[in-house]
Structure 1
Amino acid sequence: MAIAANAKLRTRALVAVLAALLITGVSACDSKSGPDAHGGSPDTRQVTVIGSGKVQGTPDTLTANVAMESVAGDVTAALSQSSQRQQAVIDALVGNKVDRKDISTTHVSVQPQTNADGTTIAYRASNAIDVKIRDITAASQLLALIANTGGDATRINSVSYSIEDDSQLVKDARAQAFNDAKSRAEQYAQLSGLTLGKVISISEQSGTTPPTPAPMPRMALDSVPVEPGQQTVNFSVTVIWELT
């Protein structure tokens, strides 16, 4: 009887060990067959390609940063003079069909002017605005109007061009970038004797290269020659394809 009992115990122990090994094997299989970070299995053959696209468009908006400066013996006089000149410029622009909402104050400052021993001898005030000119054909005359109205106090710090709505340019550049990536991937698949499969992941990066701002002269004139040039929309896309 004792021998039979021991045999039964050994049989139960062996069954338990086999069950444990079976569970461990299934768990190991599950951990190896799961998807990787890109959505495929570790055994999936892949190709990662970067495609680029570039589209150019003509800017339709000019933004000028304009400041009026004044120097006076006290703070109040300096700020008052620069403000009056800036207000005259704003009124002149509005009178020439520039929407007031396209004019915004960007900087107001008053700084003491000192001599060699550090004594304050005057104050320099500056009042700057951004002017958005939506009619490019009027930009030359409006910049001249600013210079003539502000006189020697005028400081046209910079001009920059932009495209108000570049959504279509972005779409075109995106399509170019993807087609470029696909063409490269197809070539790699062909060279490796494989076939291009499904897309596993896509990531993109876009950017715009504006024209170089032009310096503005400080003089009385009828117009300021400006050229909007071309603005470039660049697009880069990284695509991972499955190879079969």
Structure 2
Amino acid sequence: MRIITLVLFLTCISQSHAKQSHSSVDLTRQIEVTGVGQVFSIPNRFSFSLSLEEKGNSAADLNGVMTEKSTRVINALLKVGVNKKSLQALQVRFNPWVVYNNQTREQKGFILTRTINVTVDDLQVYEKAIDEVLKLGITSISNFNYSNSESEVHYQASLRQALLSAKARAEDMVKSLDLKLGKVISISEQSAGQAMPVQMRMREAKSSSSYQPGEMTTETQVRVIFSIE
């Protein structure tokens, strides 16, 4: 009976060791690769911000002047084709107007600042809009930005390219070693797929004959682990 029990015990140990060894081999028979996908597109949404500033002694008078100035700017933008829904002019800020003279601090009144955000879907309208505000004497133009309205579609297409790239890379590697690619073990996304400019020339606060929108690229990167058969 003792001999039979000992044999069974040794058999269990042998099987357990074999399973562990096999598991260890399985863990090492895998390949990890990185795939990259890129989709190019043309920007079709453009935006910028205008900053209007007035200084004075009376807050009420400043508000009246600012309202009149803002109305002129908004009407000029609407005239060249900017959609009214694409204008945001709610940001207003009051600050003390302080001057220093021989280390003496003197408050002369207030500074009223208003920010107008503009977004357009047409490059020609974008160019005309900036020309119009420059004609009005507005030179504080900032936050130039551009994007593509189909950014999510481009992101998904770039992601598919990255996965196919990872698979092709893994197949080439195992083929070189006379091996066979197995199933996917895991997939992880390594990037957010943000669109980045390839070429974009913006005007600053001066007139120019034309903008060059250039291209944008949406790039994604994935990490894929395959088993090796």
Category of TM-score, reference length = shorter chain: 0.7 to 0.9
Shift of residue 154, structure 1, vs aligned partner? 4.5
Q: Please name the residue that 1:214 is paired with.
A: 202
Q: Report whether the alignment pairs 1:236 with 2:213.
A: no
Q: Distance in 1 between matches of 2:79 and 2:161?
A: 44
Equivalent-residue separation in structure 2 for 1:225 and 1:82 (angstroms): 31
Counterpart for residue 43 of structure 1: 25
What's the counterpart of residue 64 of structure 2? Answer: 80
Per-residue deviation, residues 11-32 of structure 1 (Å, max 9, x unmatched)? 8xx8xx98xx79x96xx68x95
Please say if residues 44 and 146 of structure 2, whose CA atoms lie closer than 8 Å, have aligned partners that are also in contact. yes
Question: Contact (CA 8 Å) 2:202, 2:212: kept in 1 or not?
Answer: no
User: Take 2:165 and 2:64, find their aligned partners in 1: how far apart are those partners?
Assistant: 59
The correspondence for 1:68, drawn from 39, 44, 52, is: 52
Q: Provide the residue aligned with 2:94 in structure 1.
A: 110
Residue pairs, 1:154-169, within 5 angstroms: 154-169=139-154
* Alignment correspondent of 1:122: 109
**Residue identity (%):** 25
Q: Are the equivalent residues in 2 in contact too, given 1:55–1:232 (CA < 8 A)? A: yes
Q: Is the 1:68–1:154 contact (alpha carbons within 8 Å) kept by the matching residues of 2? A: no
Q: Residues of 2 paired with 1:238 and 1:77: CA distance?
A: 61
Other structure's SS at 1:124 match: strand
- Aligned residue number for residue 171 of structure 1: 156
Pairwise CA distance, 1:123: 2.2
* TM-fit CA distance, 1:186: 1.4
CA-CA distance at 1:48 after TM superposition: 0.6
Counterpart in 2 of 1:54? Answer: 38
- Give me the CA root mean square deviation: 3.2
- What's the CA shift for 1:57? 0.8
Q: CA deviation at 1:94?
A: 2.7
Label 1:122 to 1:216 Cα distance change in 2 as closer, same or farther (>3 A): farther
> Per-residue deviation at 1:224?
6.0
TM-score (norm 1): 0.75
Moved over 3 A (4+): 210-213
- Using the TM superposition, name which of 75-84 and 41-50 deviates more: 75-84
Bigger CA radius of gyration: 1
Q: Distance in 2 between matches of 1:112 and 1:71?
A: 9
How many residue pairs end up in the alignment? 218
User: Are 1:187 and 2:172 matched, yes or no?
Assistant: yes
Partner-residue secondary structure (3-state), 2:140 = strand
1:141 to 128, 131, 140: 128
Instruction: Name stretches of at least 5 consecutive residues in structure 2 with no aligned partner.
Output: none
User: Displacement of 1:190 after TM fit?
Assistant: 2.2
Mapping of residues 93-104 of structure 1, within 5 Å = 93-104=77-88
